Structure formats: structure tokens, C-alpha cells
Amino acid sequence: MGNPTGFLEINRNLPRDRDPVLRVGDWDEVHTEMAVSDIQAQASRCMDCGVPFCMAAESDKGQGIAGCPVNNLIPEWNDLVYHGLWKDALARLLKTNNFPEFTGRVCPAPCESSCVLGINTPPVTIKHHEVSIIDRGFEMDWVHPNPPEERTGKTVAVIGSGPAGLACAAQLNQAGHLVTVYERADRPGGLLMYGIPNMKLEKHIVERRLKLLEDEGVIFVCNTTIGKDIPASQLKKDFDSVVICTGATVPRSLPVEGSDLKGVHFAMEFLGGNTKSLMDSNLEDGNYISAKDKNVVVIGGGDTGTDCVGTALRHGCKHVEQLEIMPEPPNSRTAGNPWPQYARILKVDYGQEEAIAIQGDDPRAYLVTTKKFEGDDQGNVQALHTCTIEWQRQEGRHMIPVDVPGTEKIIPADLVLLAMGFLGPESGPLDQLGVEKDARSNAKAIYGRYNTNVEGVFVAGDARRGQSLIVWAINEGRGAAQAVDRYLMGKSYLPR
């Protein structure tokens, strides 16, 4: 700790985002950068807190301590940044996180929720330091391919090239195994490529990391659906081990009248198609769902819903509204959400900020449920019928939504985007391999072990734990790699 009084003398500060009115005219990242000296000053706020709760999450589920799931050595690289030792900071960062250029942009930063300084003042800007370190590393040409010196002769197939699959592949490749990653899309990257829009994660950043992995020896096979183009059982025969990292891609539907109308789409149809068209032709091919000049309603209040709002605004929609069935979060922590848990408080993300700037108000409406969709004579959606709900406990058991009489409303809509989360992984590879599932349809495997009931078959990420954060996917990919390495070699020196 180089500056013992930094947290007393310096206030939290971040670089200003680009003007929301201007940035909706392009697909560039919304964030800007700040001077190196200012970043170092912010790093000096990291205090000698004794127990750095920021470094490790308490568990893989429940409302435990927030912290960093990949156990980033946060106080160490904060101190190195403060002293200007950026290359050393990069080395410490890469010890625990394979892809800080991703997490530093799109992770919700549970580390900051558990920062000790955040008990009574704004926490350290940990997430920004993380992305600043890796970006400076690439800028200074400190990041190079690092292929293994020797190969073990063992082969591993990884199904899925999202963050869990990539982390698993990167670690297993470093152990010397020959890793082949199968991806059904035309480009690898999974949700990093087609699930997260450019303004949050520009695709040249993803492609840069994929190129590094290829140069290190990882093999990518795209346009290949395991279970269809290649039987999953064939991978079991051809490889020494198989790791399922397919994610939780089955979207939650809204089974109400009119849900089959034209113009009602799942969010990932909208977001993925937009990114692909943008990369293929700068949207000139028209192979995407356009929100231009339409009244758009997004159902769902999470990150995916926010991405739909931001994308619709960039298309030039007439108006966008976002409906959330849960209550509006409080402005500060409640008694039931103490530090160091993840702070469940009201936040204005980039999409809402843009809607406020353009439309004049926050697009979100809370405690709203959709009762039915209304269509025209051609089968196109034209309105939603909604009402307000309140949450009531049913006979001392679960909370259920109850309609509030007299709150019915009709909302015009030419495009409805369902962003209500995901139910679990698609069953194809799991069923073909005979993998046992849990009650939520996820592949059944114990956290920390990752082995399924099928010999030599492992699972990691959202396919095992259900919909979660990128940083947890990386955690599980690394952990599964260690488990696979131990299975293949009898022991493993890979870190988790």
C-alpha cells in the first residue's frame, strides 16, 4: 500500500461516458478513457483493509459475500498501478483472469460491492483499473501468444465457445493438451460475440483474444452443431475428454394470448441478428430485426433488456418502453442487503441513460405484467394489454404476483422483445451423451468437480449452474480445466 491516506484524500472518479444523444448514432463503445495519472490516483484509494473482501466470492450461489469469482489479486495490482508498474500489474491480473478485457467491460463488478471502503464511502474503481491494465498491456505490446512448450498427446473437445468454453480451452491448452472448440455459429465467441452488443464490447476486442488463442494452439471449428452436424457420442469416441460449455440458451417464454404474433421476438434473436449483420455488412444486408420507426416494448429489466433498449435506439425507434415485473430497487442498501453482499440497488445503465436523454424519461416501468398481445388483421403485433401487480405471500410460502384491479393498460407496440432470462441449456448434446440433469434441466455436476455421470464428460458455466455472470463462467471454465487435466494426467498443476 503505497499511499496510506489515498482513500481519505481522493474521491471516486471515473471517465465520463460519451454523450448519450451522440453515441446512439454509432455502435462504438460508450466509455471513454482517463489520463494515466488519474487512474493511478484512483488506484491509490485502495486501502490496507486487512481482509480484502473484494478478492473472492463466498460461494457459487446464494446471497453470500460478493467479491470476485476468479479471485483477482485486486489490492496487489491496484498498488502496482499506483506506483506506475503497469507491466507487473498485468502479470498479476493474468494470473487469475484469462480475459480481463471482457470482464473489465461487461462484468457488473461484484468486487466493488464488497470493497471495504464501500462500507461508508464510494468504493474503489476496481473494474476500471482492470480494463485499464489489460488495455495498456495490448497498447504497449506486452501481450503475446504463449503456446505450451510440450504436448501431452491428450485431446479434449469443448462444446461451446462462450466465456466458460474459452477459459477452459485456454487453460487446458496451457497444460499441453490439444483442444478443439466446437461452435455452431459462424464465428467463435458465444455470447461474447453475438449476445453482447458492440457498444458494450466491441468485436475487434473479442477477435483479438480469439486470434491469440489460435496462435497458442487452440483449434476452433465453427458452423458445427454438436448433436446435429456431429453426434455428441462421436466426440466421446474421438477425444480423451469432452467438456460441455453450451451455456443456458433456452429463453424464458411468455405464454399468453398473442405471443405467436409477428413482431414478438426473443431478445437474442434481436441482438444476435443485429451484431451479425453489423459485422457482415454494416447492417446493409438487412438480415436483422429492425426497430426503426417502431414502438418498441422490452419485457424484462436485466442487462439483456438494457441491451435491447440501446440497440432499438440506435436503429431509430419511435419510442421504447421497458417493463419489469419486479419492484423498483431502492436507491441504497436495505437491511436485508448488507455489505459485503452484491448491492441490489437502482442503477441507470447505458440504455436507460440514452432513453432518458432522447425520450425525456426513464423507459422502465415496474410491477407490470403482460396479460395478452393484440394484433392486426395481418397477424402483426400492435399492442400489449398490461396491468400492475403486487407481490403477496401465498399461505406462508412463495411470493406470487397478484393483479391490482383497475390498473389495466394498453401499450402500443410494433415490436416486442422478450428479455426475461433463460431456463437452461439445450438438451441435444446432454441427451445424446446420457448426461444426468438436475431439477432445473441443467447438466448435473458438483461445483468444483465438474464431472458428470458419464465417464470423461465434464460441464462448466451456465450449462451447469444456470444463467449467471461472465466472471462465473470464467471461474467454472478454469475449474473444469483443472478437473479435466487431473482426469487425464492423474494430477494437475493448473490453478482454478
Give pLDDT tens digits for 263-303: 999 999 999 999 999 999 999 999 999 999 999 999 999 99
Q: Which residue has the higher pLDDT, 7 or 63?
A: 7
The residues, ordered by sequence, that sit 6+ positions from 192 with a Cβ below 8 Å of its Cβ are 102, 162, 163, 166, 201, 206, 470
- Asked if 214 and 230 touch (Cβ cutoff 8 Å), the reply is no
What per-residue string of b and e applies to 322-343 under the rule 16 or more CB within 10 Å gives b? bbbbeeebeeeeeeebebbbbb
Give residue 397's pLDDT band: very low, low, confident or very high (50, 70, 90): confident
488 phi/psi in degrees, rounded to 5: -75, -35
The DSSP code for 71 is -
428 contacts 226 by C-beta, under 8 angstroms = yes
Region 51-79 average pLDDT:
84
Which pLDDT band holds residue 66 (cuts at 50, 70, 90)? confident
Buried b (16+ CB within 10 A) or exposed e, 368-399: bbbeebbbeeeeebbbbbbbbbeeeeeeeeee
**Contact at 8 Å (CB) between 417 and 296?**
yes
Q: For residue 135, what pLDDT is reported?
A: 98
Distance CA 206, CA 314 (A): 22
Q: Give the pLDDT of residue 179.
A: 98
> Bridge partners of 243?
158, 458
Q: What is the largest CA-CA distance in the chain?
A: 71
Q: How many helices (H) and strands (E) does the chain have?
A: 18, 16
pLDDT at 61: 57
pTM: predicted TM-score of the whole model, two decimal places: 0.96
| pLDDT average, residue stretch 118-126 | 95
- Is it the case that residue 381 has pLDDT exceeding 60? yes
Q: Which of 61-65, 152-156, 400-404, 453-457 has the lowest mean pLDDT?
A: 61-65
45-54, 220-229, 309-318 — which is least confidently predicted?
A: 45-54
Beta strand segments in 364-485, E:
364-366, 368-375, 381-393, 399-403, 409-412, 415-418, 422-424, 457-459
Label residue 58 by pLDDT band (50, 70, 90): low
Start-end of H helices in 217-266: 232-238
* Each residue's pLDDT tens digit, 419-445: 999 999 999 999 999 999 999 999 999
Domains of the chain: 6-139 (1.10.1060.10), 155-249+423-489 (3.50.50.60), 253-420 (3.50.50.60)
- DSSP assignment of 87-108, as one string? HHHHHHHHTT-S-HHHHHHH--
Mean confidence (pLDDT) of the chain: 96
**Confidence bin at 3 (pLDDT 50/70/90):** confident
Whether the CB-CB separation of 379 and 261 falls below 8 Å is answered with yes
The arithmetic mean of pLDDT across residues 455-475, rounded, is 96
Distance CA(40)–CA(77), nearest Å, equals 11
Cross-sheet strand order for the sheet of 319-324: 264-266, 415-418, 295-299, 319-324, 364-366
Predicted confidence band of residue 1 (pLDDT cuts 50, 70, 90): low
Cβ burial of 150 (10 Å; 0-12, 13-18, 19+) is: exposed
Residue 4's pLDDT is 87
In whole angstroms, what is the distance from residue 214 CA to residue 206 CA? 12
Helix (H) or strand (E) holding 472: helix 470-489
